[in-house]
Chain A
Amino acid sequence: MRPETLIPLMVLLPLLAAPAIFALPRRLSEVWAWALFISVLNFAVAVAVVVFAYLPAPGSEVSRLSEGGFFLTGAGWPWLEDFGLRISFGLDAISLWLVVLTALLMPITVLASRTAVTERYREYYMWLLLLEAAMIGTFIATDVIFFYVCFEFTLVPMFFLIGIFGSTQRLKAARVFFLYTFTGSLLMLAGLIYLAYFNAAQDLATAAQTLAELRNIDVSEAQAWLAGQEQAAALGHWTFDIQALTFTAQTLMSPAQQGWLLLALLAGFAVKVPLFPVHTWLPLAHTEAPTAGSVILAGVLLKLGTYGLIRFALPMCPEAVVTFAPYIGVLAVIAILYTALICWVQTDVKRLIAYSSVSHLGFCVLGLFAIDAERHIGQSGAVMYMINHGLSTGALFLCIGMIYERFHTRELAAMSGLGRVMPVWAFFFVLFCLASVGLPGLNGFIGEFLTLVGAFLATDTLGMGFAIAAGFGMILAAIYILYMVGKVIWGPTKVPESHDHNRDAAHAGEAHHGPAVRDLNRREIAVLSPLAALCIFIGLYPFPMLQSLDKPVMTLTRPAAEVVAERADARSEAEREQAARTFEAIERDATREGRR
Chain B
Amino acid sequence: MDLNTVKWIPWLPAFSAVVCCVLCMRPAWRRWAAPVTVVAILASFAIAMLAAPQAGNPDIRDDYRTGAYEQQVEGEDGIGQTVTAFRWIHFRDYRNFDSEQEARAYAEAHPGRGEAEPDPQTDDWRVLETTFRADFAYYIDPLTLLMLFVVCGIGALVAIYGAGYMSGEKGYARFFGAVSLFIFAMTTVVMADNLVLLYLGWEMVGLASYLLIGYYYHRPSAVAAAKKAFIVNRIGDLGFALGIFMTFWRYETVIIAEVLQMATSGEHVTDWRDYAIPFLLLMGALGKSAQIPLYMWLPDAMEGPTPVSALIHAATMVTSGVYMIARLTPVFELSPYALPTVATIGGITAAFAATIATCQYDIKRIYAFSTVSQLGYMFMGVGMGLRYAIFGGLFHLLTHAFFKALLFLTSGNVMHGLHGQLDIRKMSGLRKVMPYTCWLMFAGCLSLAAFPFTAAFFSKDAILAGVFERALGYHGTEPSNWFFFLGGLALATAFLTAYYCFRAWFRVFMGPTEYEMGTDHGHDEDAAHGGHEDAHGDDHGHGHGEAHEASWLMLSPLFILAAGALFAGFIGYGIVQELVWSSTAAITMPALVEDTSQLHLTLMVLSGIVAISGISTAAWFHWLRRDAASRIGEKAAPLVRLLHNKYYIDDLCWACIVMPLHSLGKLFFLIDRLVIDGLVALVGLVPRLMGRSVRPSQAGVLQGYGVAMLAGLAVVVAVVMMAVYLT
Residue in B24, B217, B238, B719 whose CB lies within 8 Å of A471: B238
Tell me which of A189, A277, A450, A456 contacts B716 (CB under 8 A): A189
Nearest residue (CB) in A for B24 is: A423
Task: Determine whether B90 belongs to the interface, using a CB cutoff of 8 Å to chain A.
Answer: yes
Q: How far is the CA of A450 from the CA of B248 in the complex (A)?
A: 12
- Whether the pair A178, B705 counts as a contact (CB closer than 8 A) is yes
Task: Report if B113 contacts A (CB, 8 A).
Answer: no
Q: Considering the complex, which residues of chain A in the window 455-490 have a beta carbon less than 8 Å from any beta carbon of chain B?
A: 456-457, 464, 467-468, 471-472, 474-475, 478-479, 482-483, 486, 489-490
Shortest Cβ distance from residue A234 to the other chain B in the assembled complex, whole angstroms? 16
**Top 9 nearest A-B pairs by Cβ distance?**
A509-B535, A341-B665, A440-B200, A490-B217, A456-B245, A345-B665, A490-B223, A492-B535, A280-B676
Contacts of B690 on A, CB cut-off 8 Å? none
Q: Which residue of B lies closest to A80 (CB)?
A: B724
Min Cβ gap B133→A in Å is 11
Say if the beta carbon of B105 comes within 8 Å of chain A.
Answer: no
Between-chain CB contacts (< 8 Å), 16 pairs: A163-B698, A171-B698, A172-B680, A189-B720, A280-B676, A341-B665, A344-B662, A376-B91, A419-B217, A420-B218, A441-B203, A464-B245, A490-B214, A508-B535, A509-B536, A546-B91
- Of B91, B241, B680, which is within 8 A of A380 by CB? B91
Chain B residues at the A interface, C-beta cutoff of 8 Å: 21, 24, 86-94, 121, 128, 131-132, 136, 196, 199-200, 202-204, 207, 210, 214, 217-218, 220, 222-224, 226-227, 230-231, 234-235, 237-238, 241-242, 245-246, 248-249, 532, 534-536, 661-662, 664-666, 668-669, 672, 675-676, 679-680, 683, 686, 698, 701-702, 705-706, 709, 712-713, 716, 719-720, 723-724, 727
Given A197-B727, A543-B87, A546-B91, answer yes or no on A163-B249 (Cβ-Cβ < 8 Å). no
A341-B668, A486-B227, A489-B217 are known contacts. Are A376 and B93 too (CB-CB below 8 A)? yes
B223 touches A491 (CB 8 A): yes
A324 within 8 A of partner (CB): no
A175 to B105, CA, bound (A): 63
Range, interface on chain A? 35 or more
Say yes or no: B662 contacts A345, CB within 8 Å: yes
Within 8 A of B (CB), among A521-571: 540-543, 546-547, 550, 554, 558
Bound-state CA distance A446–B134 (Å) is 11
Residue pairs across A and B with CB atoms within 8 Å: the count is 205
**Known: A417-B535, A446-B89, A542-B88. Contact between A491 and B231, CB under 8 A?**
no
Chain A 222-257 near chain B by CB (<8 Å), digits 1 or 0: 000000000000000010000000000000000000
For A280, the chain B residues whose CB sits under 8 A away are 672, 675-676, 679
Map CB proximity to B onto A159-188 as digits: 1 under 8 Å, 0 otherwise.
Answer: 110011000000110111011101000100
Decide if A176 touches B245 in the complex (CB within 8 Å). no
Q: A193-B719, A457-B248 are in contact. List 16 more A-B contacts (CB 8 A).
A: A83-B724, A171-B698, A176-B683, A182-B709, A182-B712, A186-B716, A345-B666, A346-B669, A420-B217, A420-B535, A475-B234, A490-B217, A493-B535, A541-B86, A543-B87, A558-B121
Chain B CB within 8 A of A512 CB: yes
State whether A491 and B665 are in contact (beta carbons under 8 Å apart), knowing that A182-B709, A453-B248 are contacts in the complex.
no
Closest-by-CB residue of B relative to A494 is: B535
CB distance from B210 to the nearest CB of A (A): 8
Contact A342:B669 (CB < 8 A) given known A440-B204, A471-B242, A509-B535:
yes
- Chain A residues lying within 8 Å of B534, measured Cβ to Cβ, are 509
Q: Are A471 and B672 in contact (CB under 8 A)?
A: no
Are A375 and B131 CB-contacts (below 8 A) given A420-B218, A471-B241, A478-B234?
yes
Question: Could you say which of B136, B223, B248, B675 has the most chain A C-beta atoms within 10 Å of its C-beta?
Answer: B223
Q: CA of A474 to CA of B206 in the docked complex: distance in angstroms?
A: 14
Would you call A293 an interface residue if the criterion is a C-beta within 8 Å of the partner chain's C-beta atoms? no
A150 on the B face (CB < 8 A): no
Is A577 part of the contact surface with B, judged by Cβ < 8 Å?
Answer: no
Contact between chains at A283 and B672 (CB < 8 Å): yes
Q: Are B702 and A342 in contact (CB under 8 A)?
A: no
| A186 partner residues in chain B, CB cutoff 8 A | 712, 716
Give, as a whole number of angstroms, the nearest-CB distance from A130 to chain B: 13
The reply to whether A491 and B227 form a contact with Cβ atoms under 8 Å apart is no
Q: Is the beta-carbon distance between A475 and B89 smaller than 8 angstroms?
A: no
Q: What residue in chain A is nearest B18 (Cβ atoms)?
A: A536
CB contacts (< 8 Å) of B93 on chain A: these are: 374-376, 550, 554
A156: interface (CB < 8 Å): yes
Within A501-523, the residues touching B (CB, 8 Å) are: 508-509, 512
- Cβ-defined partner of B683 (8 Å) among A164, A175, A439, A558: A175
Does A284 touch B at the CB level, under 8 Å? Answer: yes
- Chain B residue nearest to A201 in the complex (CB): B727
- Is A404 an interface residue when CB atoms closer than 8 A count as contact? no
Docked complex Cα distance between A558 and B94 (Å): 11
Enumerate chain A residues within 8 angstroms of B136, measured Cβ to Cβ: 540
Are B535 and A452 in contact, with the CB atoms below 8 A? no
Supposing A420-B218, A471-B238, A543-B89 touch, asked if A478 and B231 sit within 8 A by C-beta, the answer is: yes
| A479 to B230 alpha-carbon distance, docked (Å) | 9
Which residue from A175, A189, A377, A491 sits with its C-beta under 8 Å from B705? A175
Indicate with 1 or 0, residue by residue over A317-355, a CB within 8 angstroms of chain B CB atoms: 000000000000000000000110111111000000000
Q: Could you say which of B218, B222, B230 has the most chain A C-beta atoms within 10 Å of its C-beta?
A: B218
CB nearest to A229 among chain B residues: B121
CA A461 – CA B32 in complex, angstroms? 56
What is the bound-complex CA distance between A482 and B686, given in angstroms?
Answer: 42
A277 to B675, CA, bound (A): 10
B709/A486 in contact, CB under 8 A: no
Residue of B nearest to A346 (CB): B669
Complex Cα gap A464–B242 (Å): 9
Chain A, residue nearest B713 (CB): A152
Among residues 243 to 285 in chain A, which have CB atoms less than 8 Å away from a CB atom of chain B? 277, 280-281, 283-284
Q: Is the CB of B196 within 8 A of A171?
A: no
In the complex the two chains form, is B242's CB within 8 Å of A176's CB? no
Kindly list chain A residues whose C-beta atoms are within 8 Å of the C-beta of B88: 540-543
B92 touches A550 (CB 8 A): yes
Would you give the shortest CB distance from A343 to chain B, in whole angstroms?
8
Contact with B along A432-451 (1 / 0, CB 8 A): 00100001110001100110
Set of chain B residues within 8 Å of A28, measured between Cβ atoms: none
What residue in chain B is nearest A507 (Cβ atoms)? B535
Is A15 an interface residue when CB atoms closer than 8 A count as contact? no
Q: How far is the CA of A483 from the CA of B536 in the complex (A)?
A: 21
A446–B89 CA distance with the chains assembled, in angstroms: 8
Q: Which of B231, B245, B679, B720 contacts A452 (CB 8 A)?
A: B245
With both beta carbons as reference points, the residue of chain A lying nearest to B216 in the complex is identified as A490
The CA of A259 and the CA of B662, in the complex, are separated in Å by 39
C-alpha gap A412/B222 in the complex (Å): 19
Cβ B203 vs Cβ A482 within 8 A: no
Interface centre among B87, B217, B226 (most CB of A within 10 A): B217
Instruction: Determine the distance from Cα of A550 to Cα of B248 in the docked complex, in whole angstroms.
Output: 19
Residue from the set A160, A189, A478 with the largest chain B CB neighbour count within 10 Å: A478
Contact B662 A179 (CB under 8 A): no
How many Å lie between the Cα of A440 and that of B128 in the bound state?
A: 27
CB within 8 Å for A508 and B536 given contacts A478-B230, A483-B227, A542-B89: yes
Q: Which residues of B sit under 8 angstroms from A219, Cβ to Cβ?
A: none
Contacts of A57 in B (CB 8 A): none
**Contact indicator per residue, chain A 176-210, by CB within 8 Å of chain B (1) or not (0):** 10111010001001000100010011000000000
Residues in A with CB closer than 8 Å to B701 are: 171
Chain B CB within 10 A, most for which of A283, A453, A456: A453
- The answer to whether B238 touches A475 (Cβ under 8 A) is yes
Bound-complex Cα distance A47 to B597 (A): 71
Contact A434 B679 (CB under 8 A): no
Contact yes or no, B217 A417, CB < 8 A: yes
Hey, what's the 0/1 contact readout for A85-102 against B, CB within 8 Å counting as 1?
000000000000000000
Residues of A within 8 A of B713 (CB): 152
> Are A375 and B87 in contact, with the CB atoms below 8 A?
no
For the complex, what is the distance from the CA of A280 to the CA of B246, rounded to whole Å? 35
Chain A residues 421-439 with CB under 8 Å of chain B are 423, 427, 434, 439
